[in-house]
Structures are given as C-alpha cells and as structure tokens.
Structure 1
Amino acid sequence: MPFTTLCLAIQKAIHEVGFSEPTEIQKSVIPLVLERKDIMARAQTGSGKSASFVLPILELWQENKGEGKAKIKALVLTPTRELTQQVAEAFVSFGKFLPTKPKVVSIIGGEKIGEQLYDIQQGCDIVVATSGRLLDIMSKKQINLSHVEFFVLDEADKMLDLGFEQELESILKALPEKRQNLLFSATYPEKMQAIASKITQNAVEVNVEAEQLNVEHIAQRAILVNKENRAPLLRHLLKTHKWKKVLVFIANKRACENIAMKFRKHGFSAEAFHGDLVQEGRNWALQALKEGKVNILFATDIAARGLHIEDVECVINFDLPRSPLDYVHRIGRTGRAGKKGVAISFIDHEDEAHFALIQKRCDVKMEKESIQGFERIGEAPKKEKGSAPVKGKRKSKKDKLREQAGQA
C-alpha cells in the first residue's frame, strides 16, 4: 500500500519527514484504519507503528472534523511521557499542511497540570496522554471524552507492567461505546488478551515480526566481567572506541544517577535518564544526547521503547534486562535505518543462567569474550537452600483477623 491513498496535504508532510515507502506495519494497518476496522496489532518498537495510526486518523479526522469549537476526536494512551510527546509531535508534523491543522494536546505527569487544563478547555482535537495524569484531569471533571471516535493503546503490554489494568476501567467508562479501537503491542500475554476483550470484540489481528531488528547491522557481544569491574571496563571501552552516542542501560534509578555522576568525575560527558527526574530534566537529557551535547546516557528501561534517537552507535547492557523481550527492545536502539551498531552485554557469574535464557528466548547466539585486564575471575557463589518453615511459627489468617478485631 503506497502513501498515495492519503490526501495530498498528508503526502506532502510524509515527503518532508523523509518517508519514501511504508513499513510492513504501515502497509497492513493504514488501509484497515481507513476502513474503520478495530485492530489488534503486534509489532516491535521501531517498526513504524506510530505513523500507522497517526496518518489514517488524520485522514479520517480532516474528512469529518465538524464545525465550531474543537472536540476531542482521538485519544491515544502511551506508557511513558517521552512516547506521549513523540506521538503528539507526529500528529503535529504529519498534519502541518492540512487546511485546518489539528489541535493536539499532550497530557503527562511532571509538568504543570494548570497549563494542560487550559489547553484542553481552549478546545482540542487530539489528546495523547499517560493514563495517570489523564485520570487526574478526569477526576477534576475538566475533560470531555464523549466525542472520541478513535481510541488508541500504544505499547499496551508495557502499560500492563505499570499497573494499567484498573486505570483502564475508569477511562473506558468515560468513552462512547461506538468508537474505533486500535491496540498496538509487542507481545500479547494472556492478561493483554483479557484486557483487549474489554475494549473490542471485533478486532482484526495484524502480526508483524520484528523486521526492524536487523541483527546483521548490530554486532552483538557478551563480555565476561566481575560485577565490581563493570565500570572500569566501560570506561576502557569508551576510551578505546570513542563512540559519539552511547546508551547504557542500568537496572534502577538510584544506580543510574550515581554512575552518571561518577563518570562525569572521570571526565566523560554523561547524563542520567530515569523516571524520578522531573520532566524538564528528562527532556533535557534526551535532547542533549540527540544534539551531541552529551555522549553517554545512563538510562533505565524507560528508554528501551518508543524513543527515537538517531545514530546511537552503541548500546551497553551494564545490567541485563529482567525480561528477555526487553533485550530486543534495548539493542534495537542502535543499528537503525540500515546503519551499523554495537550491542554489548556485561556478564557476571550470577548472570550466566539469565543470559542463557535471553539467548534462547530471543534466538541469538554469541561467543562470550574476555577483555585483557578485566577478565572475570572466581566462581559463581553457591546458592544456599533456605531453612524449612517451622510449623506453628507463623500466625494464621484467623489469628491475624482476631488481632485486628481486638485492636479495633
């Protein structure tokens, strides 16, 4: 399906952005959206799925936008603030040449709610939001979703990880029953399917394999190293290879901030990127990496999906991801658009079994290597079996209830 099925104004915007041919997900999804079908699409991050719903929604919206004050016709939910802003920017970018430009509002935490309320009250056509901030605004009865025609869940499986299920119930109650539902997810676990059934009963399933993970463009390496030597090894690799854009994944927020600070003390241009940063700080860190003001971004897994950062030369798993699927998302930040990239994983003794699982689930094989001066030494600590529970030592549920009743 070429982009010529869309109006000339949208085609002009597509050309300006630099798209030439639609990706597989766009070929499959755009015609179905234009036919007003509900969709459950399975596609990896980086496959071009944002454009697969942004483009046809704009096409249908401009055909039937109505008169008078703008009403919210499209609601898009995403798991992270950055992806929310990115999708909102896509609506603005692809709609810039339409006779009437869509009014797009992004609703995210970490920014002043008053300004977002003002933008909504002024009238808007498209809202892109994280669910938590959207519910805050809904609780104030300051948003009208009764005119929504398009409801989109982007990276739906990631939203489940963040405890989205209960929030969805409240949002669905505020939407009209008659609407078009578009669900996009990298995986469809049982929980995802159960939630999808609450949203739509007649969805067309689209399954696109991870076409964007061109492993032939990504040199994958696994380096054996003791946990305490990971930071010195990373400094050695950075000095040796002189990469200009490096994304380093860290397990938690606190460690992410600490290691970025230590690397700055060693003279590296480094910043941290994680969920505890204020939104202004998150925006600055991302933009600094994109513009080359910063060479190294230490990040938690909020940077693993949805973010578009061009020319990342190397991704380093300082800590392995918990989910094997997140390994795919992480290394997919490099080797994009036909360019070459490097993905390096540090493997301590305790990581061996989990790394073997990642290789099996992701169907990747690589020889483990050692770097001179940073060789892994010692053996994996033996796991000690915990002592068996002693019968009668723990309070029963009845005993706990009796205690609570007595205290009451």
Structure 2
Amino acid sequence: MSVKKINEVLEGKSEKERHLIELFKNAKFFVNSDERKILIVCNQTLAYQFSVNFGEMRDIITKAIEEKIGNYSISVGPIAEVLEEREDVFPGQLVVSANLNKEYIFDRFQVSSCNEDAFRKAVEISQNEEEFLHKNRQLYIFGGYGQGKTHLLHAIAWSLLWRGKKVAYFNSNTFTEYIVDAVIKKPDYRMSRISKIQNADALLIDDVHGLSGRERVQSELKSLIDYYFNLHKILVFTSLYPQEKLPPPFMEEVSSRMQDGVTSFLETPDYALKEKLLKTMVEEERLVMDEATKDAILSIEVKNVREFIKILNIVKSIASVEGKEIKLESVQKMFEKNGISIPAVEEEEIMKYIRARYGNEISFSMLKGRFKGRNKKELQNIRDTVIYQLDAKGVFSHAEIARIFRIHESTVHYILERMKKISKDEQRVKEGGKDGEKGY
C-alpha cells in the first residue's frame, strides 16, 4: 500500500481521514492465497482503530490500490497471527535471520518492575531511534537465562521491520558462521557479505558472550560497531553478563565499545510479574481457581520467567485431566510429583510483630503487594517497619520476606537500607537531645 498514493487520494479530505492514514502508514496489506484480503497491523490498538473506522479505511484503501474490495473480508490481527499464512511480508528487509520467533512481539511481553527498564528502552530504540541514538549510541541488555532477553530482541526486530527498516539479526553462533564463511572460507565474498550487514539499518546480536575466544569474529564485530557508530545506526546486544565481565578471552576493544551506550539489566521475576503471567494463563485457558490456589502457585520461587512458565504448564496439565476448575489439593499433589515444594508462609509469626506494634487495626493482607488508596503511604511505612523488625530478628531470609510480602528481593534490600538510615538519624537526634540536657 503506497502512502504517497494514499496521500494523493486524500488531498482535500478530512483531518480525521489524514489521521487514520498516519496511523496505518506502516501497515501491510495483501491478498492471501484464498483471495481473502488481509490488512496486518502491529498491535491491538491499531486493530481497534481499524474496526471502529472500518468504513472510512475501506474506502481509502480501495481508492489507493485502485481495486474494488467487493465481498472479500478484511481481517485485522497482530503479526504473530498472520505470519503463519504469509512468510514474505517483509521481502528484502530481513537481511540475515536466526529464525525470528513470531510469538516474540512487544504485545506479548509481560512487563513488571523487574524488566520495565529494558522493555521501555527496547520500545524506544525500535520506534523512536533518532531520539534514542541522539542520547545513546547503542542498547545492551543483560540478565540470566530465561529472563526475556531474546524475546525483547526479537520484538525490536519485528517493530523495525514493520517500520520498513532493514534488520541484520544474529545469535552468537549464526554471526560466527556468517563471518567465518565470509572471511575465512570464502575470502572473495568478504566485502559482499559484510556490506549486507553494513547496509542494514540495525544490527542485533543475541547472546554476544558466545563470541568469547573467537578473535577474528570479534575483530570484524569491532569494525562493524565503529561503522554503525559513525552512521548513527541501531545496535542492540544481549548477554548473560555485563560488558566488563564478558568471559575471556574477549577483546577489550570490543567490550569497551559495548559500554559506550545504555545498559539495562533484567532481574529475576518479582511477584507482580508472576501474577500477570498466571492471570494471562487463567484467562486464555478459561480456568477457575480460588485465591488460596493462586497464592500457592505464586509462592514458588523461580530464577527466571522460563521456570515459572514450566510451573504454569504443569497447572495446565491438571486442567487437561480434571477440568477447568483447578483445586489446591490437585496443585499440591502435582507439584509434589514433579519435585516442586510450596513454601509455607508463617503468617502467624509475622502477625506477632504487627499486633505488638499496631494492635488489631492492621491485618497482614493489608501489607502485601502494591498499595492503593489515600492511606497507601501509611501502609507502606508500616510494612517497611515490619520488614525491618523481621530482618533484625533473623526470622526470615530476604528472599522469604520478598515472597511473603509479594515484592522483589531488591525492594527488600532497598527498604532495609532506607530503614537503617532512618534508624541512625533517629538515634543521632536522641543522642543530641541527651547531650543538650547534660549541657555538653
């Protein structure tokens, strides 16, 4: 669909029609093999816009492509749904591919405080790269296995492709194979192979730590990074390690260049992220479970998102046998069968501290998760005080406190540091008062 052609058609049209064209200028339109016309848009918001303004958009498209739509239906859906039917949606744009996953798009990435920073930066560099590159030369995302690095990198690639950009995407193995083939095995083809990467608008490499020990490949990467820097093109890398801790032997010239940009760390899943993943599964599978069952599932500590998805798959397997209503007893039995233990939450132990200080006005449930309402600041201060007391008593580990209060472990560390500072300040005030009384 030619935007120029549509703009010619729209000359003298209403402001609303022009706004619609601006919204849909990066959409893809084609006739499927069964002659069903499909308009592909990149997210659900645009899908909704099209459904609301279908009549006007239909007329615009009809005039723009000089073809009658007739009785054909127009389907609207996110990229993952339509790419199964059409593989050549981006002809010539995907320069090199390591098999982009059609499910890995921004719409399907669950966002929480543990990954929000990386998600926000990934969206920015893929949808507003000029502003991003004005402030930062590249994006580097690191974190443990199964935290969502590959998902974000694929989402960046899909987003850029939608906007008509040329993308060179690799993982460490395919990049090595590509460079070795170009430089060592077939030296005559070096320039043509390297120029394909140079001519792309974006170079994305997943698991860049896998290039450790491959000096010749790293040397070529160094040259490519310099080339992209000079032309202000998009560079995104992911790794298990921060740049300064890439496993040796890794050329300092390469790792130092990767530090010349913005870095984002994907933390282990917090309670809020697990809650979102569970909610999504329950809705998609149309399951029914009470709060006690949900709490049991959410209480399980995992190192990464992938581990928690395995937990959810076990829950789904229960539904396939026993039906849509998931009972706590069934979950406990299935988890025990798979060697998964559900931690016991010693609520009564915690309530001792709460009652001792606040009486019966505050319940334990009021201090869990995120706070809302006018008294959220007061509840947050109470929770932080209780956490500080629990830590001082040594009753629970920081990980257990995080699980019990449905917050991330890093939040527990932050709370304890803040409370220690407050405690020291209060102590200084008291000592100052005593000194004044003694006339010092």
TM above 0.5:
no
TM-score (norm 1): 0.31
Report the structure number with the largest CA radius of gyration.
2
TM-score scaled to structure 2, two decimals?
0.29
Q: Of Structure 1 and Structure 2, which has the larger fraction of its residues in strand?
A: 1
Greater fraction helix: 2
Higher relative contact order (CA 8 A, sep 6+): 1
